[in-house]
A and B are shown apart, each in its own frame.
Chain A
């Protein structure tokens, strides 16, 4: 029996490490030399192995151990990162994921019937065979080394410390050996080399040093140099190449870890265990179950409601007036902090996509350049959890229906490699997530045709419609334009589900597409689900709340200003024609319906959703206040025009108007 607390921790951490591995391996594919990534990937495999061993998962331990070995060889420069190597690592990663899933399924036990020996052998074979050939290369390199003299890190512990201290955040540490041509003025050229280094970075140490070079009579044929520079390796080398008559013989970028580790290695070893415990204690983060945060949010919501009630008591005493603003401030800050805690960068969710795109594009024989931006954009945890499926679907669609095959693209005069962009950013109080491709785009005529076929719309209606409304049909249940059903996407389910999920999160999805050029799906989401500013209104005596981010403005109009366009009531506001609806009407209240006959002026709230506007006629405009959004629960979830409820000052319930429903 496994202790459940440990097991949960294992799954949480395993998930994290798998993500690190996944991202790292994909980064390596593009930057095989990226030492930092190699190290990160190695460390992840190593930690995963450690955890697996502690929990007694033998298969997982064995597998991660083998992968760790491979990666270690890469670190040591004995193995090269090739496509085969990446494929093997990814396979390994899949196996890790598989094992972890199995362990989860079997409630903390590794099932016996799993046989990974074949794969593990493959790993071992790969390591061996490629190492043999690399060994030879190593040997010949070693020969060269001997010719040019010893190229070893030759720093004392104190020097290493100082070097690490001198190093600024993004600077790199280079250790190189420069050989002078066997010509005259060797020392002058040596001096030029050092001067050049000072131009492009900082000279930390050289053997011989400047003074020695200047005073040298016999000439200098090699210099050992330790330097710090912002320049990446290649550029740094190029700069040095400008000095004529001097050639770089050896070049190393030094890792901080290397410098820190190498001093008194033995001591480090014996302290290893202790160090591990330390890093555990030093960790400044806490893992919290999301449900505990939910409880906390609810309690803060309660507090807020009661504060509002307290405020509405309107007690005229100086002490009260002194305390209230304080209470106000504290509750606001409390609310703010708790919401902050729930925020997670979208990168957490994005990180799985590069792998998916890679696999899918290979499968579909498409070439895709996948770009992600704004991974650091933060969203409420609960939104992130819900959003990953719809985004997966949109991305799959972009690969399947969007980006064309290289041949087709070439024929159209587009670059053979398609481009899919996934971007997140904040805009006002909303988070925008875009999925953009430069593929085939959507043909509105075809969509319209299909909509008629499926009896969604009549031909006459279609003629009256604008392009964006026609494109909106793809969100209609049972609508699919894919010529053939693939297992990647397209069975007609999908886009409507995507829209439902987004709607459930109180967000919106829209599409822009230019036929032949590509499509962009834009999802906009509220920053947080729980608390928002709202405009309170009255309809037939009941109080309703309208989220302020959907309110464009409020007006009072005289009934004579209402005009008719195509049989519908509109008002003209600053040259824009805005349709009008009456809240009493859509809520099915009787009376009030003949607002045009009203003798008094009408209160109108101009609602906006996306780029559409609509005027909502209400009975009375009340105040603006902060509301805690509560769900109506599953029982009333699909109520038209109502998205939730909130509790107002007197403890009564006010319903929240679903602006999207009205404007759409």
Chain B
């Protein structure tokens, strides 16, 4: 839990920093792919708690958790992005849930690994290329080349979470 708290604090602290022409992203892994979401959406990062399965929901909904008395639905993007390979290099206990607030709803996104928080220059972000395996273009806001063979995929959270 202490670990959670730390990460939570750093999220809050990070949010207070502002740089012109740059934005902060929380970077995480799903499978071997690296994804980023704007820090403004994020609330906290928690260790994967006991998730209760909810029947009759869409495939990407893994269930709900009890977050200090609030019931929070948790989604797993593997199925959303058609990523089949198992959590790649990561240990099971590296899984985290990022809670995000989108459209006034508190949701959890289960990810395989948290990379960290990065600053990205706005002009370093390019529109998503047409060829992205399994990923529907609508789910993306763009991509950012972090180094030569390292592409960070930036997610449009509203579409990712709410598209039918």
In the bound assembly, the distance between CA atoms of A645 and B70 in angstroms comes to 10
Partner of A639, one of B52, B56, B71, B105: B56
Please provide the 8 A-B residue pairs with the shortest distance between their CB atoms, ordered closest to farther. Answer: A587-B55, A653-B52, A640-B56, A645-B71, A635-B73, A630-B71, A302-B69, A653-B66
Which residue of chain B has the shortest Cβ distance to A648 in the bound complex? Answer: B66
In the bound assembly, the distance between CA atoms of A527 and B138 in angstroms comes to 45
Q: Take A542-B52, A652-B52, A653-B52 as given contacts and tell me if A632 and B71 are in contact as well, using a CB distance cutoff of 8 Å.
A: yes
30 residue pairs from A and B, CB less than 8 Å apart: A301-B69, A302-B69, A542-B52, A542-B53, A586-B55, A587-B55, A633-B72, A633-B73, A635-B73, A635-B107, A635-B161, A636-B57, A636-B64, A636-B73, A639-B57, A641-B55, A642-B55, A645-B71, A647-B66, A647-B69, A647-B71, A651-B66, A652-B50, A653-B52, A653-B64, A653-B66, A653-B71, A654-B52, A655-B52, A655-B55
By CB atoms of chain A within 10 A, which of B54, B65, B106, B107 has the most? B54
**Chain A contacts of B73 at CB under 8 A?**
632-633, 635-636
The secondary-structure label for the interface of chain B is: strand
Does B61 reach chain A (CB closer than 8 Å)? Answer: yes
**Chain B contacts of A639 at CB under 8 A?**
54-57
Does A305 reach chain B (CB closer than 8 Å)? Answer: yes
**Interchain nearest-CB distance for A48 vs B (Å):** 37
B66 & A652 in contact (Cβ 8 Å cutoff): yes
**Chain B contacts of A588 at CB under 8 A?**
55-56
Which residue of chain B has the shortest Cβ distance to A634 in the bound complex? Answer: B105
Does A298 reach chain B (CB closer than 8 Å)? Answer: yes
**Interchain nearest-CB distance for B68 vs A (Å):** 8
**Interchain nearest-CB distance for B148 vs A (Å):** 39
By CB atoms of chain A within 10 A, which of B55, B61, B107 has the most? B55
**Interchain nearest-CB distance for B156 vs A (Å):** 17
**Interchain nearest-CB distance for A110 vs B (Å):** 33
By CB atoms of chain B within 10 A, which of A589, A633, A652 has the most? A633
A272-325 at interface with B (beta carbon < 8 Å): 298, 301-302, 305
**Interchain nearest-CB distance for B124 vs A (Å):** 32
Which residue of chain A has the shortest Cβ distance to B61 in the bound complex? Answer: A636
In the bound assembly, the distance between CA atoms of A639 and B70 in angstroms comes to 18
A298 & B52 in contact (Cβ 8 Å cutoff): no
**Interchain nearest-CB distance for A338 vs B (Å):** 16
Q: Take A305-B69, A645-B71, A651-B66 as given contacts and tell me if A636 and B52 are in contact as well, using a CB distance cutoff of 8 Å.
A: no
**Chain B contacts of A641 at CB under 8 A?**
55-56
**Interchain nearest-CB distance for A136 vs B (Å):** 67
Does A340 reach chain B (CB closer than 8 Å)? Answer: no
- Chain B, residues 37-67, CB within 8 Å of chain A (1/0): the string is 0000000000000101111110001011110
**Chain A contacts of B107 at CB under 8 A?**
635
In the bound assembly, the distance between CA atoms of A301 and B71 in angstroms comes to 13
In the bound assembly, the distance between CA atoms of A589 and B64 in angstroms comes to 17
**Chain B contacts of A651 at CB under 8 A?**
50, 66
| Chain A count of residues within 8 A CB distance of the other chain | 27
Does A125 reach chain B (CB closer than 8 Å)? Answer: no
Interface residues on B, range: 20 to 34
B108-164 at interface with A (beta carbon < 8 Å): 161
**Interchain nearest-CB distance for B49 vs A (Å):** 9
- Chain A, residues 222-255, CB within 8 Å of chain B (1/0): the string is 0000000000000000000000000000000000
In the bound assembly, the distance between CA atoms of A424 and B56 in angstroms comes to 36
A635 & B56 in contact (Cβ 8 Å cutoff): no
In the bound assembly, the distance between CA atoms of A631 and B56 in angstroms comes to 16
In the bound assembly, the distance between CA atoms of A652 and B53 in angstroms comes to 11
**Chain B contacts of A589 at CB under 8 A?**
55
Which residue of chain B has the shortest Cβ distance to A583 in the bound complex? Answer: B55
Which residue of chain B has the shortest Cβ distance to A589 in the bound complex? Answer: B55
- Chain A, residues 577-589, CB within 8 Å of chain B (1/0): the string is 0000000001111
A632 & B56 in contact (Cβ 8 Å cutoff): no
**Chain A contacts of B71 at CB under 8 A?**
630-633, 645, 647, 653
**Interchain nearest-CB distance for B86 vs A (Å):** 22
**Chain B contacts of A301 at CB under 8 A?**
69
**Chain A contacts of B106 at CB under 8 A?**
633
A632 & B54 in contact (Cβ 8 Å cutoff): yes
In the bound assembly, the distance between CA atoms of A611 and B54 in angstroms comes to 28
Which residue of chain B has the shortest Cβ distance to A653 in the bound complex? Answer: B52
**Interchain nearest-CB distance for A656 vs B (Å):** 11
Which residue of chain A has the shortest Cβ distance to B56 in the bound complex? Answer: A640
Partner of B69, one of A298, A586, A635, A654: A298
In the bound assembly, the distance between CA atoms of A634 and B52 in angstroms comes to 17
**Chain A contacts of B105 at CB under 8 A?**
633-635
**Interchain nearest-CB distance for B97 vs A (Å):** 14
**Interchain nearest-CB distance for A572 vs B (Å):** 29
**Chain A contacts of B65 at CB under 8 A?**
653
In the bound assembly, the distance between CA atoms of A634 and B106 in angstroms comes to 10
**Interchain nearest-CB distance for B73 vs A (Å):** 5
Which residue of chain A has the shortest Cβ distance to B75 in the bound complex? Answer: A635
A587 & B69 in contact (Cβ 8 Å cutoff): no
**Chain B contacts of A647 at CB under 8 A?**
66, 69, 71
**Chain B contacts of A305 at CB under 8 A?**
69
**Interchain nearest-CB distance for A97 vs B (Å):** 31
In the bound assembly, the distance between CA atoms of A628 and B83 in angstroms comes to 37
In the bound assembly, the distance between CA atoms of A586 and B56 in angstroms comes to 8
**Chain B contacts of A630 at CB under 8 A?**
70-71
**Chain A contacts of B69 at CB under 8 A?**
298, 301-302, 305, 647
B7-64 at interface with A (beta carbon < 8 Å): 50, 52-57, 61, 63-64
**Interchain nearest-CB distance for B140 vs A (Å):** 21
In the bound assembly, the distance between CA atoms of A453 and B154 in angstroms comes to 49
**Chain A contacts of B57 at CB under 8 A?**
636, 639
Beyond the given pairs A630-B70, A635-B107, A642-B55, 16 more chain A to chain B contacts, judged by CB atoms under 8 angstroms and listed by A's residue number, are A305-B69, A586-B55, A587-B55, A631-B71, A632-B54, A632-B71, A636-B64, A640-B56, A645-B52, A645-B64, A645-B71, A652-B50, A652-B52, A652-B66, A653-B50, A653-B66
Which residue of chain B has the shortest Cβ distance to A646 in the bound complex? Answer: B71
